[in-house]
Homo-oligomer: A and B are copies of this chain.
Amino acid sequence: MLDVDLVKALANDKRLLILEWLRDPERHFPPQRDGDLVRDGVCSLFIAQKLGVSQPTCGEHLKVLAQAGLLRGKKIKQWVFYQRDEDRISAAKELLSGEW
């Protein structure tokens, strides 16, 4: 059977948008003063802003994605920067296309 927590992590428009944007962060976000968009990830503040939601709401979405293993967070100064975990995402795709 499918991993329901993985599926639940994906079952949300905003979380799918975040995953989509982080696939090509330079296309979707302006350069950051701290942290390189590709090497370090995107600061959660900018993700919240682009998503048009409060920081706590965005933080909740990022947490769900990180707990499902789809994103990795990296702390730089007082901020957290997020990027996709492509290995885990590939593993998730394999699971989703397997037997269910």
User: Which residues of chain A have a CB within 8 Å of any CB of chain B?
Assistant: 1-2, 4, 7-8, 10-13, 16-17, 19-20, 23, 89, 93-94, 96-100
Chain B proximity of A13: nearest CB distance (Å): 5
A55 to B98, CA, bound (A): 30
A20 to B98, CA, bound (A): 12
CB <8 Å contact, A13 and B4:
yes
Number of copies: 2
A6 to B71, CA, bound (A): 22
- Nearest CB in chain B to that of A14: its residue: B4
Instruction: Pick the 4 closest A-B CB pairs, nearest first.
Output: A97-B97, A11-B11, A96-B96, A93-B97
What is the predominant secondary structure among interface residues of chain A facing chain B? helix
- Chain B CB within 10 A, most for which of A11, A19, A23: A11
- Chain B CB within 10 A, most for which of A7, A89, A94: A7
